[in-house]
Each structure stands twice: as structure tokens, then as C-alpha cells.
Amino acid sequence: MRTIICETPGTLKLQETQAPELQPGNVLIKIKRIGVCGTDLHAFEGTQPFFSYPRVLGHELSGEIVDTGDVAGFEKGELVTFIPYFNCGHCVACRADKPNCCANIKVFGVHIDGGMAEYVQIPQQYLLKSEGLSLDELALVEPFAIGAHGIKRAALQAGEFVLIMGVGPIGLTMIEMASGMGANVIAADVNDERLAFCNENFKVTATLNTLKDDVIARLHEITNGDMPTVIIDATGNQKAINSAFYYLAHGGRYVLVGLQKGDLIVSHPEFHKRESTLMSSRNATKEDFAKVISLMKSGEINPRKFITHNVGFEMVPGEFSKLLDPANKVIKALITI
């Protein structure tokens, strides 16, 4: 089968590899769509934590079942997606019903080879039925689930001011869901074109360019002097993450969805006097996936408006670096097999 392998940072190669031999309890899926995630782009750049090379990327996936093996409840030809976080089931996190942050987690396309391949085999417990969604929609369930988990971690309430840092795909999924919950959403980024896309396609109270605006003054103005009670980082940028501590209201919650390799650096007095709550948000749970599928089915969220680019599978090695170029205005790219 054809497989795209990231051999070293900056190098993708299309190769022929052995098709998987179906194991008990698994189904064989022919991959049809692959969403390109920030994790994939950072892995290609060489800036992604938890990563080693060579690696087959890809964890935002949808496809068609071609062999159910000994698994009941699924049929050949059925469209599916799946939860790409394989947990151990016995560590302290798993025992606490937090498999998304399992101590021994194996994320598909990160810790183990992923879905930039014609076929993958997936254990039954991670499979998700299509519920009538299209292949494009199914491939975007995972990034929306990431956003849903971040919103849930923030315990966001209607009427609150929430500052979402970074309007890439994950940031936009959280803007979509937060605004749908009745929150007052402030979107921040350093890219005016992305902020314009956000304004044109999403319901936001205000947008900020953190390189050009006096952020603290603008936030005081927007929130009537209170500052945002919730900040969610979706940048994965050290400077942005550290700066945002100063944007938080007293008694506020700060959720880190974005991930970077460096240290968190903050003035302890500034953090302490706010009685701030700082938390991370990792991956998503089965409940988050189910919620997203339900919201997509009802039309409350529309994943199609996120898709700006489509790349054929064979073209990926030559075209992938272009997805990193801001001039190409990529929001979400899908790879089609």
C-alpha cells in the first residue's frame, strides 16, 4: 500500500509499505480523508514535543471499513472515524476516567504511526459510526473534539468574556462553540488575514492583533474594565502563552490547549493576586467526540466552512511545505485519497 512517511523534519516521502495484517478485535479501514493538523505541521517543522522520526503522520481521519474481522456491530462499506488516542486502561488517569491523558498514551500519528496511508487497522473500542456525516465532516470530528474538551475544561458560562488566543483551526472550533453557548468571544492573533476570516465567518465580540494593538487597554475597553474571566490559548507559542497571564480577570481561569516546548514564565505576584486557575487541556474524551458528532448532525456547527485547501494524496510530499506558508491563507487542509 502507499504510505507517506516523515523521515526527518522537512522530509516527506511516498513509499510502498506492507498493508496491515488484521488482528483480533480490530477492523481494517481504507482511509479516504486526512485532516492536516497543527501537530502534523509542527512535526514536519521539527518543533512538536513527544515526537520521534521516522513517523507516519495523520490522526484526523475518516474512511470506509473494508474488513470487520471478528468485530460485531460494524459492516463492510460503512463510513467511520475514530478516537486516535490509545490508552492503557490501568494507569491512574485511566482509572479516574481520564483516558485522554493516560500516562502511557499512544496517540495515532504522534507516538505511533498514523493515517497517511491507504489502510489502517483500528481497535473496535475507538471506532465511531458516521451517523450520516460525510467523509469531510468525519475527518474534522477530532479537531472539534479537541476544542470541545478545552471549552469543557474552562467551565465556560453564557455571558462570560472569553479571550481565545490563536485563530487557527483549533481556536476557530472553540470560537464556534463558545459563541454558540452565548459567551462573549474575543479572538486574538498576529495575522490580520486570519482575524478577517474570523470576523467574516464567526460570531465574535471583538478581534485583537496582539502585535499591533494595546492589548490590555483594548481588553479593558471591551470588557468594561473587568478583563476576560476565561482565557484559552490555542497558539502553542511561548511568548503568547506567557503574555496572556496579564490579560486575565481576577478570579479567572486560564486553559492551555496549545502546546510548546519551552517554559511557562509568569510573575508569581501577578498570578497569585488574581487567585488564578491554570490548567491544561489534552486531547479529548469519547463524550467530547459524541457531542461534536451531535452538533454536526444538528447543524449547530458547520465544519465545511473551515476547509480552505484540498490536496491529493500523491501530491502531499511536494505540497506539504506550502501549507505552512501564511501567504497561502490555509485554515484547514484536507488530504484526499
Please, what are the domains in the chain? 2-139+302-336 (3.90.180.10), 148-280 (3.40.50.720)
What confidence tier does 262 reach under pLDDT thresholds 50, 70, 90?
A: confident
| Number of Cβ within a 10 Å radius of residue 331 | 18
pLDDT at 100: 97
pLDDT at 51: 79
Q: pLDDT tens digits for 212-261? A: 999 999 999 999 999 999 999 999 899 999 999 999 999 999 999 998 88
pLDDT at 52: 86
What confidence tier does 42 reach under pLDDT thresholds 50, 70, 90?
A: confident
Is residue 50 scored above 80 in pLDDT? no
Is residue 43 scored above 80 in pLDDT? yes
What confidence tier does 46 reach under pLDDT thresholds 50, 70, 90?
A: confident
Q: pLDDT tens digits for 136-192? A: 999 999 999 999 999 999 999 999 999 999 999 999 999 999 999 999 999 999 999
pTM of the model: 0.94
**What value does the mean pLDDT of the chain take?**
95
What confidence tier does 278 reach under pLDDT thresholds 50, 70, 90?
A: very high
